Amino acid sequence: MDTALLEQRFNEKIDRDVRIEPKDWMPDHYRKTLIRQISQHAHSEIVGMLPEANWITRAPSLRRKAAALAKVQDEAGHGLYLYSACETLGVERDDLLSDLHSGKAKYSSIFNYPTLSWADMGAIGWLVDGAAIMNQVPLCRASYGPYARAMVRVCKEESFHQRQGYEIMLTLSKGSEVQKKMAQDALNRWWWPSLMMFGPTDAESKHTEQSMRWGIKRFTNDELRQKFVDATVPQADLLGLTIPDKDLKWNEERGHYDFGAINWDEFFNVISGNGPCNKQRLDARNKAWEEGAWVREAANAYAEKKAKRKAA
């Protein structure tokens, strides 16, 4: 069958909202866009484990420690589902990881900020996982089957993460003056980076238009950012905390909150590798990769031995 006909069939499937599966024909650009987005997402999950893992030993109670451990383990699992989904597109996991380790591949800007206090665990769960859910629920309807199916489970776990984060914030904001101050300070530091997670404005976004046409993305970056602000402001009110934006105001006419200007210079600086923790995060991933070499070797040796025994 010639390429034009294959492309026509592919487009018809997209128009009818029929899922594209690994063995189906797909345009090269569609495949590459998926590999880029899914691998960046997978990297974000495993780099996202680092700022929180830092607090497991310092969690203030056994209950908090167990929840933090479960959350970090879930993130490792999300990384695995996503690397597996990416492999169905014909790439090798080792190559994806090597791009992460060399600094070539991107991962979410948010994980290049430091976690300075316990309240940051609350703010990350509430805001960062909250933003992740806002972005990822529509991805459960993405046009590529393995990605969409991976997202269903990821979103269920993310909603547990968001709730545990909000509960930490609730406890702190109803606690002593010092605890309330910690919660406010964490909100002050995480609010703007959380808004940046949704990516550049629609006018600046390189990939949105094509990804929307292919049903990889279902909403634009600005649409999701607005949904997040609208959902989160009442949650901050309930906590009795103040969002650090003097321009934040309900707009009766639009039926949305207006919010202040985002510092896009900061965002582009962070995604170019110059954020406060980029180097630390990549060093930690590289160290984990090197120190885990014996596990990979042992697993390979075991698999080879098993295959030989089966063949004998």
CB nearer to ligand BYC: give 179 or 235: 235
Under the criterion CB under 6 A, does residue 129 sit at the interface with ligand BYC? yes
Contact 86, 38 (CB under 8 A): yes
Distance CA 175, CA 34 (A): 45
Q: In 10 A of CB 82, how many CB atoms?
A: 26
CB nearer to ligand BYC: give 272 or 300: 272
Burial class (CB in 10 A: 0-12, 13-18, 19+), 162: buried
Closest separation in Å from C-beta 12 to ligand BYC: 24
φ, ψ of residue 251 to 5 degrees: the values are: -110, 105
CB nearer to ligand BYC: give 37 or 173: 37
At CB < 8 A and 24+ separation, what contacts does 210-214 make?
210/29, 210/33, 211/33, 211/37, 213/14, 214/14, 214/30, 214/33, 214/143
Under the criterion CB under 6 A, does residue 36 sit at the interface with ligand BYC? yes
DSSP 8-state symbol, 272: I
Closest separation in Å from C-beta 75 to ligand BYC: 5
Choosing from 109, 115, 143, 164, the residue that interacts with ligand BYC (CB under 6 A) is 109
φ, ψ of residue 160 to 5 degrees: the values are: -65, -40
CB nearer to ligand BYC: give 191 or 198: 198
Report the residue closest to ligand BYC, judged by CB: 48
Q: Which residue has the tokens 């866009």?
A: 33
Binding track over 197-236 against ligand BYC, x by CB under 6 A: xxxx----xxxx--x-----x---x---------------
Total residues interacting with ligand BYC, rule: CB under 6 A: 28
Distance CA 79, CA 99 (A): 15
Choosing from 14, 45, 96, 122, the residue that interacts with ligand BYC (CB under 6 A) is 45
Residues that bind ligand BYC (CB under 6 A): 36-37, 40-41, 44-45, 48, 75, 106, 108-109, 128-129, 132, 135, 196-200, 205-208, 211, 217, 221, 271
